[in-house]
Amino acid sequence: MNWFKLASPAAFYPFAGRLIPRFGLAALVLVLIGFDWGFFLTSDQLGGSNPQKEYYRIIFVHVPAAWMSMWLYLVLAAWSAIGLVFNTRLSFMMAKAVAPTGAIFTFLALWTGALWGRPSWGTYWDWDPRLTSELLLFFLYIGYIALHSAIDDTRRADRAAALLAIVGLVMVPVIFLSINCPDPTQCASLHQRSDPGSIHLSILIPMLSMTLGFWAYSFAAVFARLRTIILTREADSAWAREVIAQEART
């Protein structure tokens, strides 16, 4: 396969269509494995000197969602930068397709974090550095979507939203350092810093399964949304009209 041809929306459209069911199936299997293992097969409580009760199981959704919120923003900023540098239409379309999925995972991380925070810390919300920076990341996603929708000219909207995405990239290391700060006294956080090597396999494996499931879902959702964006923007081209007509017949 000539991979350079995929830079064309007309070539990428059918390619994405072939990948969507594969990633969708992988997401379903991985999430079901992670959910079943994490919520029903792990021990009743975390070990150590400060064990937590059943509510700790929300980490199997909360942590992967938080990871995905940062990873997808990196993807959003990367495609935005590629679009600005090389002026490729598909790059801007890809960035636009990524933003809603990133916003969903960021909201899921905030929501599950609040549900975890109530029994753990006695409050749904605290202006903890990690919570605050994650909230700002959610606002960046929403800001990107709103800015893109507010500008009628597609090319101007792509470039303006891309610049916002790149500027907002600073929030990703801020979120990471807020929980992995070298000097905890300088950035106190309610979140506990964990050494991956100390996590028991009964917890690590389902968490990774959920993460991979969310990752596969992201591909399926982004590609499905991208195909809609491509058809909308390429509606005047002959190939797009043919695809639309064929889909209308089926």
- Report the CATH number that the domain containing residue 116 is assigned in CATH: 1.20.120
Look at residue 241 and tell me if it is in a domain.
no
CA distances (Å), 188 to each of 66, 131, 192, 213, in order? 19, 12, 10, 31
Q: What are phi and psi of 105, to 5 degrees?
A: -70, -35
Q: For residue 85, is it within any domain?
A: yes
The tokens describing 215, both together, are 């990752």
* HSE of 213, CA atoms in CB hemisphere, 13 A: 22
What pLDDT, on the 0 to 100 scale, is given for residue 1?
Answer: 57
Residue 211 lies in a domain: yes
Report pLDDT for 246.
Answer: 87
Domain count of the fold of the chain: 1
- Is the residue at 115 inside a domain? yes
Tokens for 37? 């293992």
One digit per residue, pLDDT tens: the chain, 250 residues? Answer: 566 788 899 999 999 999 999 999 999 999 999 999 888 877 655 544 444 566 678 889 999 999 999 999 999 999 999 999 999 999 999 999 999 999 999 999 999 988 887 777 777 778 777 888 899 999 999 999 999 999 999 999 999 999 999 999 988 888 777 666 655 555 555 555 555 555 677 788 899 999 999 999 999 999 999 999 999 999 989 999 999 888 888 7
Its domain, for residue 96, covers 18-43+54-190+200-222
User: Has residue 132 been placed in a domain?
Assistant: yes
Asked if residue 160 belongs to a domain, the reply is yes
The position carrying tokens 């801020």 is 174
Q: Which two tokens stand for residue 225?
A: 């949304």
DSSP string, 25-70: HHHHHHHHHHHHIIIIIS-SS--SSS---GGGGGHHHHHHHHHHHH
207: buried, middle or exposed (CB in 10 Å: 19+, 13-18, 0-12)? buried
The reply to whether 218 falls in a domain is: yes
In this structure, is residue 195 part of a structural domain?
no
